[in-house]
Amino acid sequence: MDDEYVRRTAITRLVVSDEQQSLLEATISEYLTGTQLATDMVWPNVSTKDKLQPLAYDPIREQTDLSSQHAILATHQAAEAISGCLERKNKGLKASKPTYTSPTITYDTRTMTLFDDHTVSLTTVESRIRCPLALPQDEDGYQWQFLNDAQWELTESTLTARDGTYFLHMGFRRHKTDAERTAEQRTAENGTVLGVDLGVENIAVTSTGTFVSGGELTHWQNEYEQRRASLQQCGTRWAHENMQSVGRKEDGRFTILVHETANTILAEARENDCTHIAFEDLTDIRERLPDATWQHRWAFRKIVEIVTYKAKSDGIRVEQVNPRHTSQQCSHTDCGFTHEDNRPTTNGQDEFRCLKCGYEIHADYNAAKNIAVKCAKNLHRLHTSSGGGAPVDVRLNSGLLTVESRGTVVPR
Ligand SMILES: [Zn+2]
């Protein structure tokens, strides 16, 4: 069932009067009592909604003031908590009987109604109450896209109290579009990843072996610095204007270069029928690439941004992976040895030579392969947890690597 829908949550504060607040407080308190009651009755022997509901429904109705539907929801909540605990236990983790203290209650479409005037009516232990949603004034609030679009339907919501303020987490869902379904199928059936390493000497290197030299960027950057330095010495108005024009010319060259690089990466992905393009996460790029100037860092971010934007229309997804060890690890399938000395600094930055297996390869290409494999492993893990377990391919210049059962990487 979950496969048919896209699900989102919109969070908003509720405007409540004092009287409504005490009703909500009482309702939440009864709900926690009911959920605990159901849990205490069956722990740890029953963990499914179907079995728990008939056992605990009557006792909850007798011992709390909950409405019939909230009594049912409390049994469902208990079942979910118990099965979560048992799952942890099965993994050998510590898991004791669930207790419920956080002031939170579930509302479904039977216990909550959302009206067009952006108020909600909520079931309580006494009468229903109707409260306005405290939505953002401007139309930019992300909540509006769910409220103002009939495609999105309300599902299950949770109400949480925090210091006397009530937050409603409204669950929405809509049917997936055909494009979304197709993209997912492609991924689930058999993903193919193109890895991309971004750097200074080579601005981009793909796992298919395409190199985009960073020479031009460095050249224009030096030109700029030099001309700026000499103009600065003149210090006249004329020099100032000239400097700005150097800057503009610079910006133009950088922008063209960045677009060309992004297009090369995209063309490579299309030609090789890739479903995913993987970059490194750029968060700590300043520390990881001390040689990169602000122009490089700007270029890297821009490249990822353009590729992400343009890839969408081809149904290609862009992922960013954790950069840890991607440049130090040996990308040979039988090895994977990680050591900083795999990059001998004496013989130039290009070289990667594995201290363990002796594998020699261009350092940036080694990184691009590692990035692709990392992404493929993440995707494979996702497939496996969603029950698919389909293998994921990595596109190389010499063929394919396939990440299959339990993350093993095999050449094809
Ligand atoms: Zn090795």
**Domain final residue pick, 175, 202, 233:** 175
Residue 237 lies in a domain: no
Q: Answer yes or no: do 145 and 191 share one domain.
A: no
Q: Report pLDDT for 238.
A: 62
Q: Answer yes or no: do 327 and 374 share one domain.
A: yes
- Report which of residues 271 and 345 the model is more confident about: 271
Sequential DSSP letters for 247-316: HHHHHHHHHHHHHHHHHHHHHHHHHTT-SEEEEE--TTHHHH-TT--HHHHHHHHHHHHHHHHHHGGGT-
Residue 354 in this model has a pLDDT that exceeds 70: yes
Residue 232 lies in a domain: no
Mean pLDDT of 300-315: 92
Residue 79 lies in a domain: yes
**Domain final residue pick, 120, 153, 175:** 175
Compute the distance from residue 375 Cα to the ligand 1 centre, in Å: 20
| Residue 239: pLDDT band with limits 50, 70, 90 | low
Q: Report pLDDT for 251.
A: 73
CA distance 147 to 138: 14
Q: Give, in order, the Cα–Cα distances in Å from 324 to each of 253, 282, 353.
A: 32, 11, 18
Compute the distance from residue 351 Cα to the ligand 1 centre, in Å: 13
Residue 295 in this model has a pLDDT that exceeds 50: yes
Compute the distance from residue 326 Cα to the ligand 1 centre, in Å: 13
Q: Answer yes or no: do 198 and 324 share one domain.
A: yes
Compute the distance from residue 339 Cα to the ligand 1 centre, in Å: 10
Residue 11 in this model has a pLDDT that exceeds 80: yes
| Residue 410: pLDDT band with limits 50, 70, 90 | confident
Residue 235 in this model has a pLDDT that exceeds 80: no
Residue 198 in this model has a pLDDT that exceeds 90: yes
Find the domain containing 50 and state its range. Answer: 2-175
- The domain that holds 347 is classified in CATH as 3.30.420
Buried b (16+ CB within 10 A) or exposed e, 289-323: beebeebbeebbebbbebbbebbeeeebbbbbbeb
Residue 243 lies in a domain: no
Q: Answer yes or no: do 152 and 32 share one domain.
A: yes
Do 6 and 177 meet the contact criterion of CB atoms below 8 Å apart? Answer: no
| Residue 247: pLDDT band with limits 50, 70, 90 | low
CA distance 259 to 302: 8
Compute the distance from residue 359 Cα to the ligand 1 centre, in Å: 5
Compute the distance from residue 409 Cα to the ligand 1 centre, in Å: 14
Residue 334 in this model has a pLDDT that exceeds 90: no
Average pLDDT, the chain: 88
Q: Which residues surround ligand 1, an ion (CB under 5 A)?
A: 330, 332, 335, 337, 354, 356-357, 359
Q: Report pLDDT for 187.
A: 56
| Residue 395: pLDDT band with limits 50, 70, 90 | confident
Residue 281 lies in a domain: yes
Compute the distance from residue 111 Cα to the ligand 1 centre, in Å: 61
Q: Answer yes or no: do 192 and 330 share one domain.
A: yes
Q: Answer yes or no: do 304 and 350 share one domain.
A: yes
pLDDT tens-digit map of 108-146: 999 999 999 999 999 999 999 999 999 988 767 888 889
**Domain final residue pick, 175, 196, 223:** 175
Compute the distance from residue 294 Cα to the ligand 1 centre, in Å: 33
Mean pLDDT of 207-212: 92
* Residues present in the chain in total: 412
Q: Report pLDDT for 336.
A: 87
pLDDT tens-digit map of 152-197: 999 999 999 998 899 999 999 999 887 777 766 665 557 899 999 9
| Residue 2: pLDDT band with limits 50, 70, 90 | very low
Compute the distance from residue 327 Cα to the ligand 1 centre, in Å: 12
Q: Report pLDDT for 393.
A: 87
Residue 260 in this model has a pLDDT that exceeds 90: yes
Q: Report pLDDT for 1.
A: 38
Compute the distance from residue 331 Cα to the ligand 1 centre, in Å: 7
Compute the distance from residue 336 Cα to the ligand 1 centre, in Å: 6
Q: Answer yes or no: do 77 and 207 share one domain.
A: no
Compute the distance from residue 330 Cα to the ligand 1 centre, in Å: 5
Q: Answer yes or no: do 71 and 195 share one domain.
A: no
Strands (DSSP E) along 3-51, which ranges?
5-14
Compute the distance from residue 334 Cα to the ligand 1 centre, in Å: 7
Q: 3-state class of 134 per DSSP?
A: strand
Of 62-71, 232-241, 401-410, where does mean pLDDT reach its minimum?
Answer: 232-241
Residue 353 lies in a domain: yes
Q: Report pLDDT for 103.
A: 95
pLDDT tens-digit map of 57-110: 999 999 999 999 999 999 999 999 999 999 888 888 888 899 999 999 999 999
Q: Report pLDDT for 346.
A: 56
Q: Answer yes or no: do 260 and 315 share one domain.
A: yes
Compute the distance from residue 119 Cα to the ligand 1 centre, in Å: 63
Residue 140 lies in a domain: yes
Mean pLDDT of 253-269: 92
Q: Answer yes or no: do 186 and 171 share one domain.
A: no
Q: Answer yes or no: do 146 and 206 share one domain.
A: no
Mean pLDDT of 363-385: 89
Of 39-53, 281-295, 359-373, where does mean pLDDT reach its minimum?
Answer: 281-295
Mean pLDDT of 346-375: 87
* Amino acid letter, residue 28: I
Residue 231 in this model has a pLDDT that exceeds 50: yes
DSSP 135: -
Q: How many domains does the chain have?
A: 2
Residue 137 lies in a domain: yes
Q: Answer yes or no: do 205 and 140 share one domain.
A: no
